[in-house]
Amino acid sequence: MSEEVKKNSYSADSIQALEGMEHVRMRPSMYIGDVGVRGLHHLVYEVVDNSIDEALAGHCDSIQVIINEDNSVSVQDNGRGIPVDMHKKEGVSALEVVMTKIGAGGKFDKDSYKVSGGLHGVGVSVVNALSDHLRAEVHRDGKVWEQEYEKGKAIYPARQIGDTDIKGTKVTFKPDGTIFTQTLEYSYDTLAARLRELSFLNKGITITLTDMREVDDKGEVRKETFHSEEGLKEYIKFLDGNRTPIISHVISMEHEKGEIPVEVALIYNDSYSENIYSYVNNINTHEGGTHLQGFRMGLTRTLKKYADASGLLEKLKFEISGDDFREGLTAIISVKVMEPQFEGQTKTKLGNREVVSPVSQAVAEMLENYLEENPADAKIIVQKVILAAQARHAAKKAREMVQRKTVMSGGGLPGKLSDCSEQNPEKCEIFFVEGDSAGGTAKQGRDRNFQAIMPLRGKILNVEKAMHHKVFESEEIRNIFTALGVTIGTEEDSKALNLSKLRYHKVVIMCDADVDGSHIATLILTFFFRYMRDLIEKGYVYIATPPLYLVKKGAKKQYAWNDEERIALIEEMGQGSAVQRYKGLGEMNAEQLWDTTMNPEHRTLRQITIDNMAEADRVFSMLMGDEVPPRREFIEKNAVYANIDA
């Protein structure tokens, strides 16, 4: 090849690279999902992912994440440091290639053993493209190198700036405000939950999170270290910290079955809910898939075999269903797959068939051993399964009601529902309102064309503590199913929800802005989380935000949602203004409720999202479970309403 042709192909390549970066900036959500809060945090995960890869390769055991004062984020690892030598093909440093070329960095390189990867697994160059400014610092072979970029473009070639006796990579980036228009503010808790999760999933690595934005009374910044020696075993203990175990140990194993690393841990507790978290390459696979299928097969097969042999099932007059084996089960499955195929609506369902049997074999082997060595625990588990089967049998009628009673099949809508006239679910909203009196006001205030009102009696059943049949027997809860047009799945898989006849695409919880109101909202949310999780995951669930104050002067009325707004309004209106504190929805008249809380033109609805399933589970089990002290602590830490009432 002549020199000239070569040159041309170089420049063709760099044009392609540039186009790649331009494309990321033009269509960011194609790469990071969205440009809201989630996308913003995803940037951090993407960078941390590189460090995790370096750790999985066996070269790094420490990762530091710092939220800087200006909401930029620094990530530093003690790996080998990104190579800085000239990349033969590109004519620039390897560092620059990794930072500016979409798809560089090995993610798409089948030869390298890289199996970690964010949801989209797109690489740090995407983070660079979406950052106002990024600085990379490499410590390697005794030298420090740096390079800086603006909106993904290098502003100078990688340069040597000094000597060092450490090794590793440090990246500091500031997300671009013209892309992340909603917010640039990082949430410590969101990052902490993900980093903690990563530390359990990748044992042995030490990850620290530091928040430089605020100092406490002692002049100290917020800082946490995440490190797990035992991995999933410890993760189970953490997740089930607010529940009561019924067996003596966490059952766990780690195995490489046919080139697929499989890790599993599980425990049985005295609750009635099933909590299984599955991961592929450190990504939470919400929709499950072949690894979950393998887990269920292994669990059911082994326990059934044991129970049959034990003779304990002889008195049982009916078949045990798959569900029965999973009541009170908390489990984590983590697999690493070289070329994962993600399917499903949110691309979080593993499709690789070859994963089923290694996981089911591993689970079977692990359980067989445990049951053999712990006969007392084995008996407890089998008895729990039998109880679950009996309860399910007893609840058959109630469950079938919920299963069958759709509007179409003539069950009729609940009497308390004031429905809207619009038929297209996409345009319809339903407001669940606490109490009949507020329900009445909402009914008067609504736009009946597209807004339905469903008053709920005070506190609905706490599903966290109730057996399934109690849940399906509760009239209040059956009414929620019927009003929404939602039915549940088969007996074998009661978690499968049928949303095809969902009657409203906005399901709004509207409660008083006080301690009681937030408790009721939490009860309803807990019910949705445990029994209609899909509704939340599909983005149909919202919380209404009624104002806390009315500031009046003469005929002029304005609303305030917090103390800051109230003070500003009083200042603005000046002498003679009066403040009215809304104690509850019932204190507003229909017009006020419409203006402030229900009218789509003025209201603020908070969409409920779950960015960390395991963390959400832990919080719900704590808020709604038996143990009081952790709940008090959480409420004190997060009480927005408590100080208002004080």
Q: List residues near ligand 28G by CB under 6 A.
A: 47, 50-51, 54, 75-77, 79-80, 82-83, 94, 98, 105-106, 124, 169-171
Provide, rounded to whole angstroms, the least separation between the CB of residue 84 and ligand 28G. 10
Provide, rounded to whole angstroms, the least separation between the CB of residue 48 and ligand 28G. 7
CB closer to ligand 28G, 141 vs 373: 141
CB closer to ligand 28G, 51 vs 526: 51
Please list, in sequence order, all residues whose beta carbon lies within 8 angstroms of the beta carbon of residue 375, skipping any fewer than 6 positions away.
Answer: none
CB closer to ligand 28G, 114 vs 196: 114
**Per-residue three-class SS string for 175-189:** ECCCCCCCCCCCCHH
Residue 544's CB: how many other CB atoms inside 10 A? 23
592: left (phi over 0), alpha (psi -120 to 50) or beta: alpha
Nearest to 15 by CA among 85, 83, 90: 90
CB closer to ligand 28G, 31 vs 582: 31
CB closer to ligand 28G, 47 vs 260: 47
Contact between 150 and 156 under an 8 Å Cβ cutoff? The reply is no
**Of residues 514, 565, 587, 626, which has the active-site annotation?**
514
Does the active-site annotation cover 141?
Answer: no
Q: Is 514 annotated as a binding residue?
A: yes
Q: Is 434 annotated as a binding residue?
A: yes
Interatomic CA distance for residues 172 and 195, integer angstroms: 17
**Of residues 368, 516, 587, 626, which has the active-site annotation?**
516
Provide, rounded to whole angstroms, the least separation between the CB of residue 196 and ligand 28G. 19
Provide, rounded to whole angstroms, the least separation between the CB of residue 59 and ligand 28G. 7
Provide, rounded to whole angstroms, the least separation between the CB of residue 103 and ligand 28G. 12
CB closer to ligand 28G, 94 vs 371: 94
Strand partners, 256: 261
Helices 188-201 & 37-56 angle (0-180, nearest 10): 30
Contact between 535 and 486 under an 8 Å Cβ cutoff? The reply is yes
**E strand or H helix that includes residue 32:** helix 28-32
Nearest to 473 by CA among 522, 401, 533, 417: 401
Provide, rounded to whole angstroms, the least separation between the CB of residue 579 and ligand 28G. 50
Q: Could you give the C-alpha distances from 593 to 270, 441, 548, 598, in angstroms and in order?
A: 43, 8, 12, 6
Does the active-site annotation cover 263?
Answer: no
Provide, rounded to whole angstroms, the least separation between the CB of residue 35 and ligand 28G. 22
What the block records as the tokens of 540 is 């149909």
Interatomic CA distance for residues 324 and 154, integer angstroms: 58
**Of residues 240, 429, 491, 512, which has the active-site annotation?**
512
DSSP string over 81-95: ----SBPTTTSSBHH
CB closer to ligand 28G, 75 vs 488: 75
Q: Is 512 annotated as a binding residue?
A: yes
Contact between 209 and 75 under an 8 Å Cβ cutoff? The reply is no
Nearest to 199 by CA among 226, 173, 220: 226
Provide, rounded to whole angstroms, the least separation between the CB of residue 52 and ligand 28G. 9
Strands (E), 269-326: 275-280, 283-284
Provide, rounded to whole angstroms, the least separation between the CB of residue 93 and ligand 28G. 11
CA angle, 452 then 457 then 460, to 5°: 105
Interatomic CA distance for residues 514 and 640, integer angstroms: 9
Provide, rounded to whole angstroms, the least separation between the CB of residue 283 and ligand 28G. 18
Residue nearest to ligand 28G (CB): 50
Does the active-site annotation cover 434?
Answer: yes
**Of residues 434, 464, 491, 617, which has the active-site annotation?**
434
Contact between 585 and 441 under an 8 Å Cβ cutoff? The reply is yes
CB closer to ligand 28G, 124 vs 430: 124
Interatomic CA distance for residues 641 and 633, integer angstroms: 15
Contact between 125 and 152 under an 8 Å Cβ cutoff? The reply is yes
Interatomic CA distance for residues 9 and 153, integer angstroms: 20
Coil, helix or strand for 628?
helix
Chain centre distance of CA 71: 22
Strand partners, 343: 349
In terms of C-beta density within 10 A (0-12 exposed, 13-18 middle, 19 or more buried), how is residue 164 classed? middle
CB closer to ligand 28G, 170 vs 506: 170
**E strand or H helix that includes residue 171:** strand 168-175
Interatomic CA distance for residues 628 and 121, integer angstroms: 41
CB closer to ligand 28G, 168 vs 288: 168
Does the active-site annotation cover 595?
Answer: no
Residue 341's CB: how many other CB atoms inside 10 A? 15
CB closer to ligand 28G, 202 vs 494: 202
Provide, rounded to whole angstroms, the least separation between the CB of residue 62 and ligand 28G. 11
Nearest to 93 by CA among 77, 104, 108: 104
Q: How far apart are the first and last CA of the chain?
A: 80
Binding residues: 434, 512, 514
**Binding-site residues for Mg(2+), please?**
434, 512, 514
Residues known to be catalytic: 434, 512, 514, 516
